[in-house]
Amino acid sequence: MKVDKVWNDSKFLSLSSDGKLTYLYLVTHPAQTELGVLQLNPKLVSAQLDFTMSDFRKMTTLLIEADMITVMSVNKDIYFIINDYYQKSAKTHSSI
């Protein structure tokens, strides 16, 4: 995603500072796949962002409600999906 797209996005601009930090953390995370999918440990993310788990859940909920991310749990693993990346990615069999 282009940086100017993030900083000019009305959804992003309407977020609180913590919401912006959380979103930027997710969209710039080195573990993100081509499709915008990340498998992350919420406790680790909370610690890295200096949030409580409750704060991180709140920010995640706000991003979900803003239709900016999707969160899925599969076999006890938590996946964060950056909606813009995922929706605009070419989905080849090998990337999925």
At residue 48, does pLDDT exceed 50?
Answer: yes
The residue whose two tokens read 């959380």 is: 22
Contacts of 56 (CB under 8 A, 6+ apart): 22, 42, 45, 46, 49
Element (H, E) at 78: strand 77-82
pLDDT in tens, 12-36: 999 999 999 999 999 999 999 988 9
Q: What is the rounded CA–CA span in Å between residue 86 and residue 89? A: 5
pTM for this model (two decimals): 0.85
pLDDT in tens, 32-47: 998 899 999 999 999 9
Assess contact for 75 and 64: CB atoms under 8 A. Answer: no
In this predicted structure, what is the pLDDT of residue 31?
93
